Amino acid sequence: MSENRMSVWRALYGWIDQPKRTLRYVIEDPRWPLWLAPALAIVIALIAVTVVSAPSASELARVQAEQQLEAQMGSISGEQAEQVERTVETFTSPLFIAATGIALGILGLVLTWLFRGGVLFFISYLFGTDSRYVQA
């Protein structure tokens, strides 16, 4: 495995099947695509979960928004009520819920990895190792 170049798909399978061996290979040959293989698996899982749960999350959001609107309907005019209903329909649609969930999930993944990498880098720096941030 260390003599052949590992593809992203092989690395993705290796992270799941043989993580120790794959990590050893990636440390010896640090290429971005190999590190992105776990991120690809996480993004695929995130998209699948978000798409499957979007209809029920949309229905729950719509019910909660309608309950809040019923409590406030006496204080707004008819035209404002129609505008609010159109806005609620837009923001509680399954497509909007899925797109928002996927975008925020990917943003959260990136920020979490950057933060964890920073923590590992500073901990290793405190212990006196001479490593780069990318290695963390």
pTM above threshold 0.95: no
For residue range 38-47, list pLDDT tens digits in order. 888 889 999 9
Residue 91 confidence (pLDDT) above 60:
yes
Averaged confidence pLDDT in the chain:
84
Work out the percent of the chain whose per-residue pLDDT is above 90. 33
What is the pLDDT at residue 134? 59
Exposure letters 80-101 (e unless 16+ CB within 10 A, then b): eeeebeeebeeebbbeebbeeb
Residue 1 confidence (pLDDT) above 60:
no
DSSP-derived secondary structure letter, 74:
G
CB of 8 closer than 8 Å to CB of 31 = no
